Each structure stands twice: as C-alpha cells, then as structure tokens.
Structure 1
Amino acid sequence: MNLRLEQKMSWVYLLNLTLFLAPLLFVPYQLWHYAAMVVTLIGFLYCYFVAYRQNSSQMLWPVLGMVVIATLIAPINPGAISMFSFAGFFIGFACTLRLYLLLMAALCAILITLDVTGLILWPYFLLLGLPVVIGVSLLGRVEQQRQLRLRQEQQSHDEIKQLGAMVERERIGRDLHDILGHTLSSIILKADLAEKLLARQQAEAAQQQLSELSAIARDALSQVRQSVSGFKHKGLTAEVAKLLSRLRDAGFQVELSGEIPQLDSRRETTVILALTELVTNIMRHSQGDSCQLGFMQNNHRLQLQLTDNGKAAAFKEGNGLTGLRQRLAAIGAQLTLEHGSGFRAIIDLPLQEPL
C-alpha cells in the first residue's frame, strides 16, 4: 500500500488546530508558556507537512514526532487534543488494520496516562480527547479505503483500455489477413493470366487483365486504410457479387442460390469477411472448376453454404480459419467444414443479435 493525500487540502485541515489555539483566549498563560507553545506549534507544523507529503509507507516517523510534541505540550495546553487527532488521522490513513489497532491503542494509552497522572488540569481532557482522536482516526481509515477504491477503479480502467487495444490489434490483424490474403490471390491470378496472354501476343486482352489488376490493388489499398477505423464495405449483395466475379475470373463456374438477406452492420461485416476468407481458400487450394454459394433462412436462422467440386483433402486450419471461427463466434455463429466429394463450408447464424 503506497498512498498519498491530496496536497491541496493540507492547509484546509489545519483549521482543526482551533482547539489548540482556543485556550489562548481564556487562560492567562505565563510568557514561557507562550514561548513553549509557539515552539511546539512550529515543530508540529513541520512534522505535519512532512507527513502530508510522504507516501503512506513513510508517514509514521513524522507522526511519531507529532505525538511526542503533543504529549509534551498537553500539560500546558490541553488543546493538544487536536494534535493527537492529526496523529490519529495519519495512523488511520497509513496503516494496515492490524497496525492501526495497535498504534491507536498506544495513542489512547498516552491520553489516559496524561489524564490519570494529574498532568492535565482540564477535567474534560479524556472525555473529549478519546472520542475526537478515535473519530478522526476513523476518517483516516475512510480516506484510505476511498483512495484504494479509486486506485482499483483506475487499474480496472487501464486494464480495460489495454484489453480494448489488444482486441483492436487482433481485429486489424484479422482484417488485414482476410483482405490482403484474398486480394493478393486475385492479383497473382490476374498477373499470371496477363503474362500468358502477352506470351500469346494477345495484348488487348492482357491490357484488360492489367487494368482489372490495378483496380483490385487500389481497392485493397482503400480497405487496408479503412481497417484501422473499422472495415467498411458496400453491402453484402455488392460484396457477394464481387467475390463471385473473382471466382469466375479464376476459371470457376459459379452458381448463386437463395435470397441474400439484410443483416445489421456488425454481422454483415463478419459474413463478408468470412466469405472472403473462404473464397480465397478455394482460389488457392481447390483444383475444381465449379462453385456454389447458397443462402437459406429457417426458423430465425440463416445458413450459408459454399461448396466446390475440387479434390477434397484434409488440411490443417491456419490463422485465417482460426480467426474466422473467432469472428463468427462473436456474433453467435458457427462454422462447419466438410470434406467429401469436394469442399463444403457451412455458416449458421441467428438472424437476430444474440442476447
């Protein structure tokens, strides 16, 4: 435990010294009494400000000085109760519960000793002193708990910020993987096709492929820029059309079935990125020439099926599919991959946001 008191309140709390100054108005002290009280008041203020500026772990030595000063001046001025109360506050603030109880017992014992030995001539010294010192020490405990609670809240806030930053980094990483993985595959395909067309002296067709390659690269650059503030797209229907066009360019016969649904922004983005990752995998690994994408709705659920007729071989899931499963799980969806007569990916998700 390493706490600090608010510095701006240090002078305000000194108003409690009025109990020490009040007897000066009513008791005819001798000159040396005044001198002793001035010296002790200066010493007390020094210990007070030293304690106030220390961490809680370093407060006890100046507090000990405050107790000694208050003990020495109490027989002359019983208003030293206020000095004892300051010591009680610092003890309550700085100490663990066990040490607090021990030191407060010692402080109360000092007050009782001063009273029963007859050194204090004021009859209300103990009657007023014990409740005041104990009560103020409890205020110190309250302040300690308040600061501990504020520190815990700050730590929780910092942890939430760090967690949020980590989640955002993971999101950007998944976005870049999904966007660039698919786009680079298309760029490679277009570049290879343009190269083959040039080799056949088909310059016009090669120029068309290069123009499409340039458009794909520009679109990828735009999406990468957007990924830092959240992936943006033109809607599920437009993105599905773009993905199907890429598959056709890769030599696949493509069939679309079912009605493309209207989804909220979060789930629409997740479905688009999921389809992008799956289409990219087909373009990279499938040895087939036919692909089907279907949308089916039933009992408030949506099922997407993406299949091809390639040579289905078991494969180890990489970062892309792992990230894809995490994305889908976040919206209550499931991904099923099947290998049989071709490859099949099934995405099942609720049409409404899960509670």
Structure 2
Amino acid sequence: MAQDIPNPASKTEDKYAWVYLINLVFYFIPYFIIDMPLWQILLSLAALIPFVYCYYWAYRSTSSQAHLPILAIITIAIAVTPINTGSLSLFTFAGFFIGFFYPLRKAVLCIAALIATLFLLNMSLNFDHYYWAIYGAALLAGVSLFGVVERNRIENKCKQQKSQDEIHQLATMLERERIARDLHDIMGHSLSSISLKAELAEKLLAKDDIEQAKLQLAELNSIARDSLSQIRQTVSGYKHKGLVASVTGLCQTLRDKGLSVTLEGEIPSLSPELETHLILSLTELCNNIIRHSQAQECSLRFSQNKQQTIIQITDNGQPDSVNQGNGLNGIRERLQQFQGTLTWDLSQQCQFTITLPQQG
C-alpha cells in the first residue's frame, strides 16, 4: 500500500469486524457431510480460538506488521487441513488480508505461493482429486480481489479526508487573516489618533494651555472608549472554534516551523471547559516540540474506547530526559481536575500521552 493504513476499516467500522467471521460457516460444512470422529471435531473447533485471535490481530495491524498474523493464519489453516478440509475458509481470510495490505504485484506473488501450498497439501494428504485445491485456488483469487477493492476504498477515503483537512486548514488561515485585517482596520486609525492627541495634549500642557489640553484629553478618552467598544463587538463575533480548529492550528504552526505533521484519528467532542484545558495542554506540548525537540516529524493521534480518550503527541527528537518544569506541571494540574493524566516515553521516539476518562 502507498500508506500504512491502520486496519481494513475506519474506527467507526471496527466494531463490526466480527461480521466477516460469518464466512466461517464454510468451515463447518465437512461436519455435516463427512463422518468425523469426536476428537477430530473438538480439535478443529479448538483451532478456531487462535484463528480468531490472529484475525483480529491482522484486522488491527498496519501494513508493516500484517505479515505476522497472516503467516499465523496460514499456519493454523495448514495444521487444520488434515482433520478438516473446511480449512479453505481460513485460507480465504489470509487471502483477503494479503490483497488488502500489499501492493498488487506482491499480493499476486503471495496468492500464487498460497495456491501452490494448497496443491502441495492436496498431494501430501492424498486427496482423491484436485477439486479441493482447485476450488480453494478460485476462492483465494476471488477473496484477495475483495481485499484489493477494500484497500482502494480505504485509500480513497484517506485522500478525501486529507483534502477536507487541507480545505479546513485553508479556511482557518483565511479566518486568521480576516481577524488580523479587522483588528488592523479597527486599531490602526484609533491608535494613531490616540498617539497624536496625547502628543498634542503634552505640548499644550507645556504651554500652560490647560483648557485646550483638557479638550484633547477628553477627545483621547472618547477615542479610547470607542476603540474598546469596537474591539469587544468584533471579538464577540468570533465564536469559540473548539478543539478541532485549535488542533488544526497547532498542526499548521508545527508545519510553519518546518516539521512534517500527521494528524490521525477522530477528534473527540468534549465539554467546553475540558476543551479549553486540553487546548492549553496541547499548545504547551507543541511549543515544547518547537523549542526543545529538534525534531523533523511529529504526529498527533486521537483514539477512544469505552473508558478513555487518549491523545498521543509523538516526534522523532531524541531527548535524553524530560525536564519537569512549570509547563508540564501545569498540564498535569489542568488534567487532574478531570481525572486525566500525562505520561511520556523516550524509549524509541519522544511520545507524550494524555489520557482522559470518558465523560458521562
């Protein structure tokens, strides 16, 4: 694959991973058409336990890790074949993951090797005909194509999401420019007038022209009040953009400093108070990366489960230790208000992890 896609489905689809296991119905067909001894049935059923584990392992792997669970699935299928020819069903799961995780050329070679394995099994087990291997080869070819189609769907989805993120970033930049322009238009003339009035009042006082100086100071006070009112009206028009816009802004700030930034996962919806503290915490961590890490790459990853929301900021800087100054202590104090924690790991890359309990 062109990208290291986390799994064959998005996070929202992950909970439906068990649905594909329905294909195991073919695994049980030999039970009804062949008179199998009880020990054989129990042993083949027991093999499903490690298979299901390997299935979820592959389902949640990245392309660089997928070879391990795929090989495990193939090993289980080969081991089961002598006692249950329904093992073809297990081979098809391996075929799907091969089609999904690997580029077409590599996938074709792997599927060809897997089909050759079926024929070798057919020969070594002295099956009467090659129907089992031929049928299995057709299944592998077909299911692996489904894997390729699913990979293309995920890649297109990732590209669309990236385009949407870029559009959102562009909109944020335009909004910043608008705010800067509005403040310049409001304050530019007002500050110039305030400066001139103050300078004129100073000269009038120097000449003991008290009345004219009072008049200039009164006008200066009026200009200042009008400017303050205009600023309040302008700021009140800028609604709180929330965590999504803040995270996007932090990513852009890191990019502006020359870092390659990756944003992963779905940004959660939190209470306004928690969002504010989380934004401040993330801002502090990103500023630390800019000031201290000397990194070239950085990633922000959001993930959730039933109990926790987890935010990980990882960069490829290599600090020997972390100085727990006011910044990190401040983050911990903010998070403690919400039973959250801040941890870090320097074993491979520099990774900070914010963990928050799910809000009720």
Per-residue deviation, 1:159: 2.3
Equivalent residue letter for 1:85: T
Measured at CA, do residues 98 and 66 of structure 1 come closer, stay the same or move farther in structure 2, by a change above 3 Å?
Answer: same
Alignment check: 8 A CA contact 1:183 1:217 kept: yes
- The within-5 A match list for 1:6-25 is 6=9, 7-25=14-32
The equivalent of 1:278 in structure 2 is none
Q: 1:128 maps to which residue? A: 135
1:185 offset after TM fit, Å? 1.3
Tell me by how many angstroms 1:98 deviates: 2.3
Q: Is the 8 A contact 1:194 1:207 kept in 2?
A: yes
Q: What is the aligned partner in structure 2 of residue 146 from structure 1?
A: 153
Determine the C-alpha separation between the residues in 1 that align with 2:128 and 2:47: 19
In 2, the alpha carbon distance for the partners of 1:145 and 1:193 equals 71
> Which of 184, 187, 208 is residue 177 of structure 1 equivalent to?
184
Cα distance in 2 for partners of 1:28, 1:121 equals 17
Confirm or deny that 1:5 pairs with 2:11. Answer: no
Q: Deviations over 1:179-209 (max 9, x none)?
A: 3232111112212222333444443333332
Matched to 1:2, the amino acid is: D
Aligned-residue offset at 1:60: 1.1
Q: Describe the shift of the 1:228–1:103 C-alpha distance in structure 2 as closer, same or farther (beyond 3 A).
A: farther
Between the aligned partners of 1:97 and 1:63, the Cα distance in structure 2 is 16
Contact 1:48–1:62, Cα closer than 8 Å, also in 2: yes
Where structure 2 has 5 or more consecutive residues not aligned to the other structure, the ranges are 239-360
8 Å CA contact 1:115–1:126 kept in 2: the answer is yes
Equivalent runs, 1:1-355 vs 2, <5 Å: 1-3=3-5, 4-6=7-9, 7-115=14-122, 119-121=126-128, 124-228=131-235
How far apart in 2 are the matches of 1:21 and 1:159? 49
Instruction: In structure 1, give the amino acid aligned to 2:8.
Output: L
Q: Would the aligned equivalents of 1:75 and 1:119 in 2 still touch at CA under 8 Å?
A: no
Checking the alignment, whether the CA contact within 8 Å between 1:78 and 1:120 is kept in structure 2 is no
Amino acid at match of 1:71: I
Query: Match of 2:64, SS?
Result: helix
State the shift of 1:27 in Å: 1.2
Decide whether aligned partners of structure 1 residues 116 and 36 sit closer, same or farther in structure 2, where only a CA change above 3 A counts.
same
Contact 2:92 2:140 in 1 (8 A): yes
Cα deviation digits, residues 113-147 of structure 1 (max 9, x gap): 33455633476423432222211111111221222
Shift of 1:87: 0.4
Partner amino acid for 1:56?
S
For 1:101, give the aligned amino acid. V
Aligned to 1:287: none
Change (3 A) 1:121 1:67: farther
- 1:80 partner letter: S
2:243 paired residue number: none
Give the conservation status (yes or no) of the 8 Å contact 2:8–2:151: no
The equivalent residue for 1:236 is none
Instruction: Tell me which amino acid in the other structure corresponds to 1:224.
Output: I
Does the C-alpha gap of structure 1 residues 166 and 68 become closer, same or farther in structure 2, counting only changes over 3 Å? same
Length, aligned pairs only:
231
Cross-structure match for 1:315: none
- Give the % identical residues: 48
Amino acid at match of 1:19: F
CA deviation vs aligned residue, 1:50-90 (integer Å, no higher than 9, x gap) = 22232232111121121122123224322211111100011
Higher mean displacement: 32-41 or 14-23? 32-41
Tell me if the contact between 2:24 and 2:89 (Cα under 8 Å) persists in the aligned partners: yes
CA spacing shift, 1:46–1:195, aligned 2, 3 Å: closer
Aligned to 1:326: none
Q: TM-score, normalised by structure 2?
A: 0.58
Instruction: Tell me what 2:294 maps to.
Output: none
Check conservation: 1:73, 1:80, Cα contact below 8 A.
Answer: yes
Q: CA–CA distance in 2 between the matches of 1:121 and 1:226?
A: 86
- State the shift of 1:160 in Å: 2.4
- Quickly say closer, same or farther: Cα 1:100–1:75, change in 2 above 3 A: same
The aligned counterpart of 1:250 is none
Give the stretch that moved more between structures: 9-18 or 156-165.
Answer: 156-165
Asked if the contact 2:186–2:227 (Cα under 8 Å) also holds between the matched residues in 1, the reply is yes
Q: CA shift at 1:227, angstroms?
A: 4.4
1:151-191 deviation digits (Å, cap 9, x = unpaired): 22222222222222223223323333343232111112212
Q: Report the alpha carbon displacement of residue 103 of structure 1 after superposing the two structures with TM.
A: 0.6
